[in-house]
Structure 1
Amino acid sequence: MEENRSFDVIIIGGSYAGLSAAMALGRSLKKVLILDSGTPCNATTPHSHNFLTQDGKPPAEIATRARQQVEQYPTVLFQTDPATAADSSGSRFRITTASGRHYEGRKLIFAAGIRDLLPAIKGVADCWGRSVIHCPYCHGYEYRDHKTGILANGAAALHLAALVRNLTGDLILLTNGTPEFTEEELQRLQQHGIPVRQTEIAELEHAEGQLQQVVFKDGSKIPLQALYARVPFEQQTPLAAALGCAFTEQGYIMVDATQKTTVPGIFACGDTASPMRSVANAVAGGNLAGAMANNDLSQEAWNIV
């Protein structure tokens, strides 16, 4: 198996979405290669939530168990060797890896996820995934009734505020600069008892990643135990763009209801193609992508005369 350089499907990204796709394909006896960088975006998160049967488990534990289960299927090969280049010829895709290996696949699945671009505020990176968080579904219950802030502006801030206010009555919105709200939006925030502070942030004081207080550039401070942050991101790999896949306005790979991209033969799943950043959603999308890739391969083989 290791000497084989030709596969039915090559999966770029070997975390929850990629492993889920590989399991669906492996159970259908398709030859699958998973290429992974070993750098999941939730590496700093101590516990994963909102996933039936796995609620509260460390993300690394879930991923390790998933890989062990997928590796039981003999047609699936896992390589910690990230893809660095890709092109296509006819109905095949050619992938080059960091180690210089070359592989060919009939179908390609992007499941590498995204990379968060954290603001240059001291303490944010230390708290990221612990007490500076992105998702109320993944972390909100654990910080219910805590002193909570939202680091965001405009529509993103309003979206988070509507979700988080149900989890705590002690909520403040930090725009870190000039607020981007209409008068009507500011009135709505006031009606819900959510103050808006625009003073720029200098630092997050914390104890081993647990937020204690926000320090502003004017020297003032406020105590906080949790801070939701809506930060920009980039794709973990540029290869989907290099192959011509279309992207949404937000920066996700554009897919249809069957996880197909705009390029025939290429699928995408998980955080790379969805704003719903959760293990459960990644597993679901990966399962569908694997099944749809298998369906396309099976139909192509069926129609050969």
Structure 2
Amino acid sequence: MNRREIIQLIGVLGLVLALPKPISLFTQHNSKMDNKKFEVIIIGGSYAGLSTALSLGRSLRETLIIDAGKPCNRQTPHSHNFLTQDGSSPREIAKIAKSQLAIYDSIKLYNGLAVSGKKIKNGFEITTSNGDVFTAKKLVFASGIKDIMPDIPGFSQCWGISVVHCPYCHGYEIRNKKTSIIANGERAFHLASLVKNLTKEITIITSGTKEFKENQLDTLKQYNIKIVEKEITRLEHKNGQLETIVFKDGSKENYECAYASIPFEQNSSIPKQLGCAFTEHGHIEVNSMQKTTEEGVFACGDNSTLMRSVAIAVSGGNISGAVVNNELTQEFF
């Protein structure tokens, strides 16, 4: 165990020992419980949702978190750029968060999938895949997004481990390695500009005809960044650690890691059911207070921002919780 791991372990143990309640006492809400009415329903129980719940729990708001338990970074071994938790696993961070929420009796957790929602007279109604129906005055979508994997054998197994989306989240750990960027055009050029400071061996794999402006090509050439226009047929790896990229023409090239820009879709279809607007990139449209275009509906985390990170999800959740609580206060005070 290295020094960083020892420090992290000490920090986790300190937090757990200080908790008034163990994790097992975080209230689980199910169909056998009588209460189906809440002040706030949060759809999604990862970092943004848990952060929202923390603000609401501390204000004694009756809050239900509905969570299917499938965060998009569940395969990622370490999370970074989150102060005090740099290098911790996403699972560890969520575990600590849930144990800290356990002291707030007004917060309930429902393990399940929210599948539909509609506006009702005094708020909203949410139905789960099990047929349970809950109502609330306010809704917060912290439901995240789902990455759409390309049809390339080995890609999904490497995703979040050695094939990554963000230099800020993963770049330091894969610095000075032979690196490929699986992208084209503006996105590839942007990634190359960030990655150049982390490694000297960079190849852009466009998987087709390159789409760069002349000045961009000049810049890439200046920094010895190669461009390969071949299509990829598979990634060879060992337990998610990239070793070789195999191309359609049968050729191979060894790489230790890759950055990739892939499409995504919203995890939840309910925001669209409720009429929420979306950005040109496919995110739920929100303002600086995390309000969507629909009154009483909020969104935070990866579903509503280009900036995908645990720290930003927690920040957005904190804002959502405070603003929701303020709205409830103003309506009844």
Asked if TM exceeds 0.5, the reply is yes
- The equivalent residue for 1:211 is 242
**Corresponding residue number in structure 1 for 2:320:** 289
Match of residue 176 from structure 1: 207
Partners of 1:71 and 1:85 lie apart in 2 by 27
Distance, in Å, in 1 between the alignment partners of 2:113 and 2:329 is 28
Partner of 1:22: 53
The counterpart of 1:31, out of the listed 62, 69, 82, is: 62
The offset of 1:154, in angstroms, is 1.2
1:96–1:102 Cα contact (<8 Å) kept: yes
The alpha carbon displacement at 1:25 in A equals 0.3
How many Å separate the matches in 1 of 2:272 and 2:187? Answer: 26
Within 5 Å, which residues of 2 pair with 1:218-237?
Answer: 218-237=249-268
Q: 2:280 and 2:239 mapped to 1: Cα distance?
A: 36
Task: Work out whether 1:59 is the aligned partner of 2:90.
Answer: yes
What CA distance in whole angstroms lies between the structure 1 residues aligned with 2:129 and 2:174?
40
The 2-side partners of 1:182 and 1:51 are apart by: 36
Map of 1:46 onto structure 2: 77
For normalisation by structure 2, the TM-score amounts to: 0.89
Read off the aligned partner of 1:262 and give its amino acid letter.
T
1:154 to 177, 185, 193: 185
Report deviation, 1:284.
0.5
* Aligned position for 2:110: 79
Q: Percent identity among equivalent residues?
A: 53
- Check conservation: 1:48, 1:279, Cα contact below 8 A: yes
Cα shift readout 1:232-271 (whole Å, capped 9, x = no counterpart)? 0000011001100000000000000000000010000000
| Distance apart, 1:182 and its partner CA | 1.8
Alpha-carbon distance in structure 1 between the residues aligned to 2:34 and 2:318: 27
- 1:199-249 deviation per Cα after TM superposition (whole angstroms, max 9, x unaligned): 001111111110011111111111111100100000001100110000000
1:28-69 CA-to-partner distances (Å, cap 9, x unmatched) read 000000000111100100111111111111111111111111
After the TM superposition, list the runs of 4 or more consecutive aligned residues in structure 1 that deviate by more than 6 angstroms: none
* Residue of structure 2 in register with 1:9 after alignment: 40
- Of 153, 158, 170, the residue aligned with 1:122 is 153
| Alpha-carbon shift at residue 156 of structure 1 (Å) | 1.0
* 3-state SS, counterpart of residue 108 of structure 2: strand
**1:91 CA displacement:** 3.6
Q: Give the letter aligned to residue 147 of structure 1.
A: K
CA distance in 2, matches of 1:90, 1:233: 34
User: 1:263 is matched with which residue: 285, 294, 304?
Assistant: 294
Alignment correspondent of 2:132 = 101
Pick aligned residue for 1:253 from 284, 289, 305: 284
Deviates more, 1:115-124 or 1:65-74: 65-74
Distance 1:62 1:133 in 2: 20
Secondary structure (helix, strand or coil) at the match of 1:177 reads coil
Give the 3-state SS of the residue equivalent to 1:254 in structure 2.
coil
C-alpha separation between the residues in 2 aligned to 1:150 and 1:173? Answer: 5
Distance 1:231 1:198 in 2: 17
Task: Describe the superposition over 1:122-165 as per-residue Cα deviations: whole angstroms up to 9, x where unpaired.
Answer: 11011011001011111100011100011011111111111111
Question: Which residue is 2:9 aligned to?
Answer: none
Following TM superposition, by how much is the alpha carbon of 1:72 offset from its aligned partner in structure 2, in angstroms? Answer: 1.6
The partner residue of 2:228 within 197, 222, 227 is 197
Query: 2:301 and 2:217 mapped to 1: Cα distance?
Result: 34
Distance 1:159 1:253 in 2: 24
Q: Is the 8 A contact 1:178 1:198 kept in 2?
A: yes
SS at match of 1:130: coil
Structure 2 CA distance, aligned partners of 1:234 and 1:197? 28
Q: What amino acid sits opposite 1:206 in the alignment?
A: H
Q: Could you tell me which residue of structure 2 aligns to residue 187 of structure 1?
A: 218
